Amino acid sequence: MFPPLPNPPTAPTPPRFGDKDLIRRSASSVTPPAQRQTQVAKLIDVSKCIGCKACQSACLEWNDMVEEVGVNVGVYDNPHDLTPNSFTLMRFTEWVNPETQNLEWLIRKDGCMHCEDPGCLKACPAPGAIVQYSNGIVDFVHENCIGCGYCVKGCPFNIPRISKVDEKAYKCTLCSDRVAVGQGPACAKACPTQAIVFGTKDEMKTWADGRIKDLKSRGYKNAGLYDPPGVGGTHVMYVLHHADKPEIYAGLPNNPRISPLVEIWKGVAKYAGFAAIGALAAVTVVHGLFSGASRVSSHDEEKAKEMADKPPEGTPRENA
């Protein structure tokens, strides 16, 4: 059993991280702290998950969200997609293993991956609407959010959702409020089988190694950890029985990368300066590119690369 975190103290405690620990801030620059905090991570072991949705329930309860009572559309997934109220969702896939002809019911808890290299943050034009702490948590600061939806387009995992009520973007916070007082995320706390565990990123990788060994001993020769390098690794990782085929888990991207469109946008933004009136024109132009599907077609990519390779004169390239 992964050792449970002790209960929080009853006396108020100062938060363990805050503005001083920011390493990135959307559409603005920060002075990174001299030393990064220990990086945290949530590990979701898909092979241990029983799809009970306790995580979904805990997420709604902890964040005080009221989701709509929907309908059944012939599957177990409810709600049918992430929403501004549902930051996490069990996605069920019935997959017949071509090697064994056996049915496997793959159940993946979807939600923000807290990328080390966060596409949402990079795409965000609103100063300080998206921040990244040195422990790895990527958080949305709603009072700074302008509801443009670029974070949705910037996310390689299609996670943020814009609320129709307040026109702001919402997603999993990795329970930054709980982590700030030494607790793990609510979903991990509620998970009955410890399919979700939380700790430092190193601890999680070690824990995952043990799980992968167990899975390999049971014949899952491609069992492995999902910590995609294309986004610099993530602070939410999966143990998968078939790590060679992440896409069978309800379309988990095989090699997620930030859309090159984001790079262009960053270029334009830097060049124009967000406050500048000219930026509005630039936004309009880039918005045209963004308003398509969030999935990047090869054509889009080529076009974007072309544009990215030829930044407007005098525009410094984003290197982060």
Partner 1 sequence: MTNSWTDIKNTDLVVVMGGNAAEAHPCGFKWVTEAKANRGAKLIVVDPRFTRTASVADYYAPIRQGTDIAFLLGVINHCIRNDKIQWAYTKAFTNAAYVVKEGFGWQDGLFTGYDEEKRDYNRSTWDYEIGPDGYAVVDETLQHPRCVWNLLKQHVAIYTPEMVERICGTPKDKFLKVAEMISECSSPTKTMTSMYALGWTQHSKGSQNIRAMAMLQLILGNIGVRGGGMNALRGHSNIQGLTDIGLMSNLIPGYLTIPTEREPTFDVYMSTRGFKPLRPDQMSYWQNYRKFFVSFLKSMWGDAATPENAFAYDWLPKLDVPAYDVLRAFELMHQGKMNGYFCQGFNPLLSFPNRKKITAALSKLKFLVVMDPLQTETARFWENHGANNDVNPASIQTEVIELPTTCFAEDEGSLVNSGRWLQWHWAGGTPPGEAKHDAWIMAQIHLRLKELYRKEGGPVPEPIVNLDWRYADPNEPTPEELAKELNGSAVVDITDPNDPTKVVVAKGKQLVSFAALRDDGKTACGCWIYSGCFTEAGNQMARRDNSDPDDTGAFGKWSWSWPVNRRILYNRASADVSGKPWDPSRKLLEWDGTKWTGYDVPDIAPNAKPDVVMPFIMNPEGVSRLFTRAMMRDGPFPSHYEPFESPVANVVAPKVRGNPVARVFRNDFEQFGDAKEFPYAATSYRLTEHFHFWTKHAHANAVLQPEFFVEISEELAKEKGIKKGGMVRVWSKRGSVTAKAVVTKRIKPLICDGKTVHIVGIPLHWGFIGEAKKGFGPNSLTPYVGDANIETPEYKAFLVDIEPIAGPVA
Asked whether the beta carbons of 131 and 22 are under 8 A apart, the reply is yes
CB of 304 to partner 1, least distance (A): 35
For residue 222, report the phi and psi dihedrals to the nearest 5 degrees. Answer: -105, 20
Residues near partner 1 (CB under 8 A): 1, 47-54, 56-57, 60-61, 66-76, 78-79, 86, 94, 96, 102-107, 192-195, 210-211, 214, 217-218
Q: Which residues contact 67 (CB under 8 A, 6 or more apart)?
A: 60, 79, 83, 85, 86
CB of 45 to partner 1, least distance (A): 9
Angle at the Cα of 197 from the Cα atoms of 192 and 200, rounded to 5 degrees? 165
Cβ proximity to partner 1, 34 vs 66, nearer residue: 66
CB of 307 to partner 1, least distance (A): 40
Asked whether the beta carbons of 246 and 253 are under 8 A apart, the reply is yes
Provide the residue count of the chain. Answer: 320
Q: Which residues contact 11 (CB under 8 A, 6 or more apart)?
A: none
Cβ proximity to partner 1, 48 vs 305, nearer residue: 48
H helix intervals, 29-159: 54-62, 119-123, 150-154
Cβ proximity to partner 1, 85 vs 134, nearer residue: 85
Asked whether the beta carbons of 23 and 132 are under 8 A apart, the reply is yes
What does the DSSP 8-state code read for residue 9? Answer: P
For residue 62, report the phi and psi dihedrals to the nearest 5 degrees. Answer: -65, -40
CB of 80 to partner 1, least distance (A): 9
CB of 62 to partner 1, least distance (A): 11
Q: Which residues contact 248 (CB under 8 A, 6 or more apart)?
A: 93, 95, 106, 242
Cβ proximity to partner 1, 79 vs 232, nearer residue: 79
Which residues are part of a known binding site for [4Fe-4S] cluster?
A: 49, 52, 55, 59, 112, 115, 120, 124, 145, 148, 151, 155, 172, 175, 187, 191
Cβ proximity to partner 1, 52 vs 248, nearer residue: 52
CB of 227 to partner 1, least distance (A): 21
Cβ proximity to partner 1, 71 vs 320, nearer residue: 71
Distance (Å, rounded) from C-alpha 1 to C-alpha 236?
A: 19
Tell the burial category of 120 from Cβ atoms under 10 Å away from its Cβ (0-12, 13-18, 19+).
Answer: buried
Identify which of 259, 251, 81 has the alpha carbon closest to the alpha carbon of residue 170: 81
Which residues are part of a known binding site?
A: 49, 52, 55, 59, 112, 115, 120, 124, 145, 148, 151, 155, 172, 175, 187, 191
Cβ proximity to partner 1, 124 vs 239, nearer residue: 239
CB of 129 to partner 1, least distance (A): 28
